[in-house]
Structure 1
């Protein structure tokens, strides 16, 4: 399928992903501050992150989510940039890009409210499948 859409359109799905990354930075900082003020966490932990201090579960979950925000979404962001540079923006990959964003938002909010893997598995797996389809589509486009 020939690309008939403006290439810039594929860059827009990146912005909500970046927004979540930045938003969660503030959520993470707020949770750490709250734990320090309530004496659940020693403020020295921020400087050294030592093993002697047990980290509250909500802080650990928030830190893991923060790390995850810089893992799978990076593959998506790189795809969007490659699609833009190669001018491979179609209705299909643009729709899939926005579906990916919705799946990551779903995953983020599920993970924030319920850290059980069984609850967040579906949006995570579907988002990985979407990125796989996007990369296969780009690969096929580049082979032509």
Structure 2
């Protein structure tokens, strides 16, 4: 199962957060949002297909998130949880921890914003288009 959507980078992307990364539908961000790697997303958690949401709510489901720009890519692997509501209207957050809230897509991720490919982060800082693929 696969879901693909687009977002954009932003000149305030710093990718310094050590425990999460986020893609949001918000159009703007400030430097305090050091987990945000994509803005102006054309999808959020509420948009995921019901069948995918059901799979993500299984703690044994391995979730792959692939982030791609024209020059670079990275893949992050994490897990689902029965605690995930997957209904936030604007945000999608991947977490290293087991913490869940309405913004959480996956937990126990193997990477956070600070771990992402530096070439990918540079593309995002310059506002390049971000392709996000969620694979179950």
Superposition TM-score tier, normalisation by shorter sequence: under 0.3
Which is helix-richer, 1 or 2? Answer: 1
Larger Rg: 1
TM-score using structure 2 length: 0.23
More strand by share: 2
TM-score normalized by the length of structure 1: 0.22
